[in-house]
Amino acid sequence: MLKVFVLHGPNLNLLGKREPGVYGHVTLEQIDEWLKQEAQQLQIQLEILQSNHEGILVDAIQGAKGQYQGILINPGAYTHTSVAIRDAIAAVDLPTVEVHLSNIYRREAFRHHSYIAPVAIGQISGLGTDSYLLGLQALANYLRRSPS
């Protein structure tokens, strides 16, 4: 069975309360539950972690090698600032899909650059919670089509 590591970056624990005009009213717990349901349909085992701390996310990514076949990540604000997370993803060389609830390219100019995108197999943004579900589906398809 495929194993995927889902990582949520900073402030995503505040979903449902934080800027609902941008991020909606859905909580992170609801997103995680929908991801688990989708993973069950896709016959994927998930491990899920949320952290507001860059180093914890870096350590988690480094520890993913050999345990998971892929990573689904919403790096939050670290998308635009973290060379460390980018380098960790590059170092473990696991297929990674970057997701965002909002369309980062329709927001403030500083959000238009992603350090993660160049080391990810793809990026999905702007589709709300569907970004996560589509990201998981795309990662599953990619992993099943790739030679082991």
| Catalytic center residues | 23, 100
The CB density around residue 69, as the number of other CB atoms within 10 Å, is 21
Give the angle subtended at the CA of 24 by the CAs of 19 and 26, to the nearest 5°: 115
Rounded to a whole number of angstroms, the CA Rg of the chain reads 14
**What is the chain's percent helix, strand, coil content, to nearest 5?**
50, 20, 30
Give the largest CA-CA distance in the chain. Answer: 42
Tokens of 31: 């997103």
Could you tell me which residues come within 8 angstroms of residue 118 by beta carbon, excluding any fewer than 6 positions away? 86
